[in-house]
Structures are given as structure tokens and as C-alpha cells.
Amino acid sequence: MRPLPVRCPLRVRSRLDFEPLIAVASEAAAASGAAIRPWFRAGILSTQKADSSPVTLADREAEHAIRRVLAANFPDYGRLGEEEGLENPSSALRWVFDPIDGTRAFITGRPSFVTLIALLEDGKPILGLIDQPVTGERWLGVKGRRTSFSGPFGGVPGTRHRAKLEDAELSSTAPEIFEAENSPRFAKLAQAVKRVSWGGDGYAYGLLALGQIDVIAEATLKIWDWAALVPVIEGAGGSLTDWNGHHLREDGDGRALAVGDPALVPEIVAALR
């Protein structure tokens, strides 16, 4: 694959030129989608990884595609993917990506999986892209900018969320992600909201950015699961933190709380205690 014309972003007073970064992230997402779509609903087989999560040939081919684009354009940047680990660990700028977030959904033919691509500067997400390669939906978040959304369906990032927790729509991937310590805490939050829905993985966070979901509480997340989501959620006026309302960290406990209206965070954190 030939690199894009712009090979290196410029720094001006420690600020990045985001346009070439956005172009390359978009190109990487397109390459990933091209690798994924032929396998969708094609009866692809999966294997179990050490953490009991499934992985498919589509996951691996999509990650290869992402790495090729990123390495061709920004060879000195770090690259961390779920399937193949970290390259260039000393770089202050690091791409972090998950080729198929929601492999269980992909295996079962549900278009709620997504490709996640993020750029971190000194460990903090500054660019995030959520791409659904089957439906053609894409969210782009950039630090300091309003989140953008494109696709065949309606939706405007930053749509007003419900102001009361008792009216909120709560979502999470699956009950089994909550271990003995976390399960009763999530159950308490579930009692405080209007309704709970399950499933969605990274796609649910895109829906939160559009105001369709109000709260997401998760556990066991790795950095490639949440890095791309932070700029998207924050650029839509929301927040993505741990269960104590603090910034997410790579060495954190894996618990994440996404809220469309940050004013609800203290009440939600209290419920999760």
C-alpha cells in the first residue's frame, strides 16, 4: 500500500497538525474495513485466546492492514494493537487500535462491532476514530474539537441527554464482565436508571455520543478498548472516566464509565460505590 502524500505532521509550539493524522487514521480504517467485510456473515471460524476471548482471521488481517498504513506514513510513532502488541515503545506519540472491537458480535453476524483507532500523546488520547465497516458509520473525535459523525443514518453528536438519572438509558456489553466485586455495584446503578440494555461494545459508545444512550458502565477494558472512545465522547460533550470519576489510565483497573451528561457523574459514582 502506497503511503499518503503527507508523511509527517508538523509541531507548532507543541501542538500537532491534526489534518494529516486524521487522513491517515481514516485511511487505516478504510483498509481495515476492506479486510473485514469479506468475512462478515461468511461462517468464519474463531479460536480462543489466553484470556478466553475469541479471535478470528479477520481480526488479524484487519490489524495487519492498519499497521501497514500507519507504518508507511508515521514509521517512528508507536503502534499498539490488541493482536500483535507494541512497536516503537519509546515514542511519545503512539497509535492504539483494536481491529474488531466486538468479535463476538462479528462472529454471530451482528453489525455492532467496530474498528477503533486512537492516537495518544504522552499517554493521553488526542484523536479517536470509531468505524463500523458494514453500516458505513464513522465517528471522529479530536482533542479540542467537536466530534463529527458520518453515515447513512441520522444522528448529531452532542444531542442533549436526559437530565435525570432515573430517566437514563444504561448499557453494558455483557453481565459476565462483572466479577463478584463489581456485579453488586453495577446492579445498584441499574436500579437507579430507567432501563438497561446489553451488547454493543465500542458501537454503544458511538450511540452515546449521539444521545441514544445516556450511561455505559464496563469492566475489564484494556487501553485499545477505550483510547479511541475518549476524544469521541468528550468531543460530544460527555465524559469517559473510571468508576471513581478519574481519568482512565493504561495501568487502571479496567472499569470505565461513559456519561453523555457529565453533570450526572457524581450521582452515578455514588451509586457505583
How many CB atoms sit inside 10 A of residue 56's CB?
19
Class of domain 11-147: alpha beta
**Torsion angle (degrees, nearest 10) of CA 122, 125, 126, 128:** 150
Which residue ranges in the chain fall short of pLDDT 50?
Answer: 1-8, 10-14
CATH 3.40.190.80 domain position(s) in the chain: 165-272
Q: What is the pLDDT of residue 126?
A: 98
Kindly report the backbone phi and psi dihedral angles of residue 221, in degrees, each rounded to the nearest multiple of 5, phi listed first.
Answer: -80, 140
In tens, the pLDDT along 64-106 reads 999 999 999 999 999 999 888 899 999 999 999 999 999 999 9
Q: What is the pLDDT of residue 209?
A: 97
Q: What is the pLDDT of residue 160?
A: 75
Distance CA(234)–CA(237), nearest Å, equals 5
**Long-range CB pairs of 191-194, under 8 A, 24+ apart, other chains included:** 192/165, 192/166, 192/267, 192/268, 192/271, 193/165, 193/166, 193/167, 193/168, 193/169, 194/166, 194/167, 194/168, 194/169, 194/170
Grid look-up 455520543 returns 209
What is the residue type of 62?
A: A
Q: State whether residue 60 is helix, strand or coil.
A: helix
Q: What is the pLDDT of residue 85?
A: 87
Number of H helices, E strands in the chain: 8, 16
Q: Which CATH architecture has domain 165-272?
A: 3-Layer(aba) Sandwich (3.40)
pTM over 0.85: yes
How many CB atoms sit inside 10 A of residue 39's CB?
18
Q: Which residues are CB-contacts of 185 (< 8 A; sequence separation ≥ 6)?
A: 178, 243, 272, 273
End-to-end C-alpha distance for the chain, whole angstroms: 50
CATH 3.30.540.10 domain position(s) in the chain: 11-147
